Structure 1
Amino acid sequence: MEVFAQFLDRIDHPGHRERTEEVLSWVRNNYPNLAPIMAWNQPMFTDHDTYIIGFSTAKQHLAVAPERAGMVHFADEIVQAGYDHTNLLVRIKWNSPVDYSLLQKMIEFNIMDKADCSTFWRK
């Protein structure tokens, strides 16, 4: 997780830093085949050089970005989890639990859906 060390060090709030590190470590531990990278100043995970999932932080939340296709595919489950969202990301408030089963589904969907993808983003 050294690749994310500088990013994590820049998170001033200790609880936010701890939560972000927890989520990134969970992805790394559960999906060791995914490559952790920093791109656009955000931690991301890739598979065969194609984007699988990315994260960012804000004052009120941790954002999870599974790409638009992932957002569409899991729209109902995102709402059921009680998460605020946009067309491109899910906002997990710092004081809300992380729905790891939903995160797992998003990651596995992208791994399978992008198995033959030769570009970073879907076209």
Structure 2
Amino acid sequence: MEVFADFLAKIDHPDHRLRTEEVLGWVANKYPSLVPVTKWNQPMFTDHDTYIIGFSVSKQHLAVAPEQAAMMHFDNEIKESGLKHTKEIIRFPWNKPFDFTLLEKLIEFNIWDKKDCKTFWRV
């Protein structure tokens, strides 16, 4: 997880830093075949050089970006979770428990759906 050290060091709020480190560590441990990288100053994980999941932080939440195909596939679950979201990201508030079950579904879907993908982003 050394690849994310600079990103994590820039998170001022200690609880937000710990939560982000926890989530990134969870992904790295659960999916050891995924490659942790930092691109565009954001931590993300790739598989065979294709994007699987990315993260960003704000004052109010940890944002998870699984790409639109995964967002559309899990649209109902995302809405039922009560989490705020856009077409591209899901906002996981700092003051609530993190939904690792939803994150796992998003990652598993992207690994499966992009197994034959030859580009970084879906085309």
Where on the TM-score scale, by shorter chain, does this alignment land: which range?
over 0.9
Give the alignment's TM-score, normalised by structure 1: 0.99
Q: CA deviation at 1:59?
A: 0.6
Q: How many residues align?
A: 123
Structure 1 vs Structure 2: percent identity of aligned residues? 67
Q: What is the Cα-based RMSD across aligned positions, in Å?
A: 0.5
Write the distance in 1 (CA, Å) between the matches of 2:37 and 2:66.
Answer: 15
Q: CA deviation at 1:47?
A: 0.2
Write the distance in 1 (CA, Å) between the matches of 2:50 and 2:72.
Answer: 19
Amino acid paired to 1:107: I
Q: What's the secondary structure of 1:32's corresponding residue?
A: coil
Alignment of 1:43 with 2:43, yes or no, is: yes
Gaps of 5+ in 2: none
Q: CA deviation at 1:98?
A: 1.1
Runs of 4+ in 1 over 4 A off after TM superposition: none
Amino acid paired to 1:50: T
Give the alignment's TM-score, normalised by structure 2: 0.99
Once the two structures are superposed, the pairs formed by residues 79-118 of structure 1 within 5 Å of their partners are: 79-118=79-118
What is the match of residue 10 of structure 2?
10
Gaps of 5+ in 1: none
Instruction: Identify the range of structure 1 (34-43 vs 78-87) with the bigger mean alpha-carbon deviation.
Output: 78-87
Q: CA deviation at 1:75?
A: 0.9
Write the distance in 2 (CA, Å) between the matches of 1:54 and 1:116.
Answer: 19
Q: CA deviation at 1:97?
A: 1.2
Q: What's the secondary structure of 1:54's corresponding residue?
A: strand
Write the distance in 1 (CA, Å) between the matches of 2:64 and 2:76.
Answer: 16
